[in-house]
Copies of this chain bind each other. A is one copy, B any other.
Amino acid sequence: MENFTEILGATRQATPLVHFITNYVTVNDCANITLAAGGSPIMADDAREAGQIAGLCSALVLNIGTLSERTVRAMLLAGQTANLLGRPVILDPVGAGASDFRNDTALRLLREVRCAVIKGNNAEISFLAGGLAAARGVDAGPENLVTEENLAESARRAQQLAALTGAVIVISGPIDIVADSREAWAVRNGHPLMARITGTGCMSAAVTGAFLGANPYAPLQACVCAMAGMGVCGELAHEKLLAVGGGNGTYRMLLLDAMSRLDEATLNARARVDGFRLSPHSSPCCNAAFFHTAALQSKN
């Protein structure tokens, strides 16, 4: 993928305002990583203002990590306002599959809000693909993590959900998949320590919101840049941790440090992004034709 790292500089140039309706566990991390990535965060989760705030912003991030009836109402209103105004909506269906309330909310958001990006782990995306496609015969078995072994199958699932929703699908994990209905990319950056602190998934969605807010016509590139960027920061933080010593607390701080200091040259040098294309009617495991650094057209 050419030039996707330019997304970072464009974001810092534009300082896009990003509206979050997100869980209260990692909300501070989301605000700080948004600032570090070049955006400006606003949190507003009540229906009395969610539409109006969404209207002020360049992107909207909906994260269902801690839900209530009140915030679901706000998500729907904010999402519909963003849709009307053509602003990208990023959905992070945290815990989809774990409770009926999360499941119903995630599926309702997908039905009533047009999402530009849906980002989840493999289990969450599998749930959504299965839930949405129940009447269409798509069978999505849950996988815990994307590995080299199930990569092509996971990418196919992402592309199926992309085709159903029109969204770019991001499956986060040791390998991240970024796909729309035509192309899929694998991002092999990151470090296992990222899973030992809370919020790295939510932060990835926040960075995606900032990048997409500043680059609304390049959703696939923005997502690849966000996942590669977070992953590279996770690696840089780990390298620094080895040098200075410490544990999870230090690592958490170093991750935010890395994002605030990340530049395009570093991202370019360290990003490990590979594209592959699946032919539409083939079996999912045998025809992932890898191609590298293909130029992508804007999808929007």
Interface of A toward B, CB cutoff 8 Å: 23-29, 31-32, 35-36, 41-46, 48-49, 52-53, 56, 65-70, 95, 98-102, 196-199, 246-250, 252-261
Contact = CB atoms under 8 A, between A and B. Distances in A.
Given A98-B56, A99-B44, A198-B28, A248 B36 contact: yes
Contacts of A250: 253-254, 257
A100 B26 contact: no
B252 A252 contact: no
A300 B70 CA distance: 40
A256 B247 contact: yes
Contact of A26 (B28, B44, B102, B247): B28
A198 B31 contact: yes
Given A28-B29, A49-B99, A35 B248 contact: yes
Most central of A23, A44, A69, A261 by chain B CB within 10 Å = A44
The 7 closest A-B pairs by CB, nearest first: A249-B256, A247-B257, A247-B260, A249-B253, A49-B99, A248-B260, A49-B101
A53 B98 contact: yes
B35 A95 contact: no
A167 B168 CA distance: 50
B99 A41 contact: no
A98 B255 CA distance: 31
Contacts of A28: 25-26, 28-29, 198-199
Given A35-B197, A48-B67, 8 more contacts: A26-B31, A31-B198, A35-B196, A41-B198, A52-B98, A246-B257, A247-B261, A248-B259
Contacts of A254: 246, 249-250
Given A25-B43, A249-B260, A255-B249, A32 B198 contact: yes
Most central of A100, A197, A255 by chain B CB within 10 Å = A197
Contacts of A44: 66-67, 95, 99
A278 to B, nearest CB: 33
Contacts of A26: 28, 31
Contact of A70 (B68, B259, B260): B68
A248 B252 contact: no
Given A45-B66, A49-B67, A99-B53, A252 B249 contact: yes
7 contacts: A25-B27, A28-B28, A35-B198, A44-B99, A46-B66, A49-B101, A250-B253
Contacts of A48: 67-69, 99-101
A19 to B, nearest CB: 10
Contacts of A67: 44, 46, 48-49
A104 to B, nearest CB: 9
